[in-house]
Structure 1
Amino acid sequence: MSEPTRPTLEAIAREASVSLSTVSKVLNGRPGVAAATRRLVEDLLHDSGYARRGVDAERGETVELVLENLASEWSVEVIRGVERVAREAGLAMTLSTIGDYHAAGDDLITGVLRRKPVAVVLQFSNLTADHRRQLRARNIPFVVVDPAGDPPPDVPAIGATNWAGGLAATRHLVALGHERIAAIGGPADLLCSRARVAGYLAALQEAGLPAPAPVESAGFSRSDGEREGHRLLGVAPGDRPTAVVCANDMQALGVYDAAFALGLDVPGDVSVVGFDDAPSASWARPPLTTIRQPLQEMAEEAARLALRLRAAAAESTRLELATSLVERGSTAPPRG
């Protein structure tokens, strides 16, 4: 049995009936251990307190940020937020990417375990039960920013009021006098996408207006917005929406491209609203009306929460920050 006050790797190996090298492999995230054995050793590490007493002494001085795409404007804001909090805490920040899959793979988690960060912030990621167990067995706290789905209650997460944002965007267009207001959805597997569309539909219902076209799911890229813009705007004038609510700013700029290619004016012929308030929104011509999602603040709160969890000082592990409408030049009353 493990010692009650200072458990050792040897004691954990005896209790699990495995070799010391097997326990070492599990602790350091190395391959070559059967899944059932890995789970048993991780549970013993966690329950015995070894992770808290033994691993912290070997822990690096970094906060690891896991991103989908280093090049996106969204990611740049998240990087700024996490880096600021890490610097204030006297820590460095490391970066790793998962690619456009919304889920961290085994290779990435293994790399995180080897680097031994004091905390992990994940953008958009779904963590499997096995990944969560591996991190907790080593006393590495983690927080998800803008989770892809509806995370389990035990997963700390920082999000934004996406439903309220979709509602505010559509109410703004209704107040301008628009009655044919279309929308483009984001990826259907993302909770934020579904919430934004739900807010749009709620505002239409509130105003007694029908959706002029089915809401199709699309990617978050400019080319996705351009393709959907052609679908919505390339119809007879009497059937064409006078306004479009987009799932993010890049989609909205793609709708600009489609409108200009079709000889339409923004906002004269069609008003456009984005979501995020990325830097490109204010640089666009005309400047883009959008819903501001406080990306940098969300990242800062996620990093602070992760560090509070490390110190066992967190009272709440779920938070949604408010979105807000930013009016610019891409929306106006409909002609006529």
Structure 2
Amino acid sequence: MTDATRATLTAVAARAGVSVATASRALRGRGEMAAETRARVLRAATELGYPPIGSSRGRPRRGTALMFDLVLGHFHDPYTEEITAGARTTASALGYDLVLTAERDDPDDDWPERIRSRGSAGVLTGLITPTSTQIAAMQRAGIPLVLMEPPSEASRPLPSIRTTDRDGGTAAAEHLIARGARRFVVIGGAPSYRYGRARVEGFASVLATAVPDAPLVRTSADWSAWDARRACTRALSELGGDGPVGVFACSDEMAAGAYRAVADAGLSIPRDVLVVGFDDVRGARWLHPSLTTIRQPIREMAATAVSLLARAAAGEDVAPTAIVMPTELVERGSTRTAR
């Protein structure tokens, strides 16, 4: 056997008594296998003179690909577009490609398996709480995982990027009171995710202290404009008392639904009803009047998450704690009134 024939992956697999796929995973340090099997493959590679990972041999070979996976349950809405833009820009600046990976409902097609097969350097999940099985799969593969605005707490401590949701709700209530609202509607999200609950709690706590006798109707919608329109229509019909109404919706999309409900009731924004949303996606400025909202720094949050992944991929020990980035109230036409 000549050197050229001997130094192939197939020859290494044959010498170690494993499949070519197993030999490849062992040499790349990927996948689950017995330590003895991995050692046998490495020994066979050394004996045959198989080039180490990273040497020039046809296509460049690396133990870990220079790419990060962004895992989302859906794409192409204003919020996820902001996440993608922030993550892509930072990944590119750090020398990584960004792969968009969908979380699918099919139990036979789990995203950790797809990510492990391509040897990604790290994973960012947006608005997703990975299961304990998914977290374990990433940890076994040595692939760092960072969460952005998880809907609930993960089963194991992980680095996460969040925003001041409760403070945002507090700011919305204080602003509506200062602008003359005397009756209130709050539209929470259903399912009641962690961040949605915090926004509603912050809003309600201010009302309970500042205007404890003010009429308040709590309602919820499925995070869509259509369902928020229905929920807000019912809330307005149930709201007693007199005076301007202040509506706080836990997302800008639901605030857009509240606009339609206000028009359906024959009322006007901001003359009769003042509206505050949450997120500050691009569409908030296009509503008429433009939407006052609680801005969360979505692109900056995604950029911070990718920077954490790059540090972890370089071997740095990243603490499994939450980084909380501040919200900011952005006043626009939906609360600008002469009252």
Name the TM-score class by shorter chain.
0.7 to 0.9
* Structure 1 residue 59, shift from structure 2 partner: 2.1
Q: Distance in 2 between matches of 1:295 and 1:311?
A: 25
* Structure 1 residue 209, shift from structure 2 partner: 2.3
What is the SS of the residue equivalent to 2:146?
strand
* Structure 1 residue 64, shift from structure 2 partner: 0.8
Q: Distance in 2 between matches of 1:236 and 1:327?
A: 25
Gaps of 5+ in 1: 1-18, 29-37
Residue type at the aligned position of 1:93: L
Q: How does 1:140-289 map to 2 (within 5 A)?
A: 140-152=143-155, 154-210=157-213, 212-235=215-238, 238=241, 242-289=245-292
Q: How does 1:65-84 map to 2 (within 5 A)?
A: 65-84=70-89
Alpha-carbon displacement from aligned partner over 1:124-163 (angstroms, at most 9, x marks no partner): 1111222111111111111010011023452111000000
* Structure 1 residue 111, shift from structure 2 partner: 1.2
Residue type at the aligned position of 1:80: A
Q: Residues 105 and 68 from structure 1, CA distance in 2 versus in 1: closer, same or farther, beyond 3 angstroms? A: farther
Q: Residues 42 and 251 from structure 1, CA distance in 2 versus in 1: closer, same or farther, beyond 3 angstroms? A: farther
Q: How does 1:301-312 map to 2 (within 5 A)?
A: 301-312=304-315
Q: Residues 236 and 117 from structure 1, CA distance in 2 versus in 1: closer, same or farther, beyond 3 angstroms? A: closer
Residue type at the aligned position of 1:331: T
1:90 aligns with 2:122: no
Alpha-carbon displacement from aligned partner over 1:86-110 (angstroms, at most 9, x marks no partner): 10111111101226x8x99852221
* Structure 1 residue 177, shift from structure 2 partner: 2.4
Q: Residues 57 and 104 from structure 1, CA distance in 2 versus in 1: closer, same or farther, beyond 3 angstroms? A: farther
| Contact 1:104/1:127, CA 8 A, preserved across alignment | no
Q: Distance in 1 between matches of 2:107 and 2:204?
A: 32
Residue type at the aligned position of 1:324: E
Query: Which sits farther off after the overlay, 109-118 or 298-307?
Result: 109-118
| RMSD of Structure 2 on Structure 1 (CA) | 3.3
What is the SS of the residue equivalent to 1:57?
coil
Equivalent position of 1:328 in the other structure: 332
Q: Distance in 2 between matches of 1:305 and 1:166?
A: 28
| Contact 1:182/1:211, CA 8 A, preserved across alignment | no
What is the SS of the residue equivalent to 2:288?
coil
What is the SS of the residue equivalent to 2:219?
coil
Aligned residues: 300
* Structure 1 residue 213, shift from structure 2 partner: 4.2
Q: Distance in 1 between matches of 2:206 and 2:329?
A: 14
* Structure 1 residue 183, shift from structure 2 partner: 0.1
| Contact 2:182/2:243, CA 8 A, preserved across alignment | no
Residue type at the aligned position of 2:232: G
Q: Residues 236 and 122 from structure 1, CA distance in 2 versus in 1: closer, same or farther, beyond 3 angstroms? A: closer
| Contact 1:178/1:333, CA 8 A, preserved across alignment | no
Residue type at the aligned position of 2:174: R
Q: Distance in 2 between matches of 1:163 and 1:104?
A: 34
Alpha-carbon displacement from aligned partner over 1:69-98 (angstroms, at most 9, x marks no partner): 211100011001110111011111110122
What is the SS of the residue equivalent to 2:220?
coil
Q: Residues 158 and 22 from structure 1, CA distance in 2 versus in 1: closer, same or farther, beyond 3 angstroms? A: farther
Q: Distance in 1 between matches of 2:211 and 2:164?
A: 23
What is the SS of the residue equivalent to 1:117?
coil
Q: Which has the larger radius of gyration?
A: 2
* Structure 1 residue 327, shift from structure 2 partner: 0.3
Q: Distance in 2 between matches of 1:206 and 1:105?
A: 51
* Structure 1 residue 234, shift from structure 2 partner: 3.2
Percent identity for Structure 1 against Structure 2: 32
Equivalent position of 2:137 in the other structure: 134
| TM-score using structure 2 length | 0.79
Q: Distance in 2 between matches of 1:197 and 1:44?
A: 51
Residue type at the aligned position of 1:61: L
From 109, 118, 122, the counterpart of 1:119: 122
Residue type at the aligned position of 1:205: A
Q: Distance in 2 between matches of 1:153 and 1:79?
A: 25
Q: Residues 255 and 22 from structure 1, CA distance in 2 versus in 1: closer, same or farther, beyond 3 angstroms? A: farther
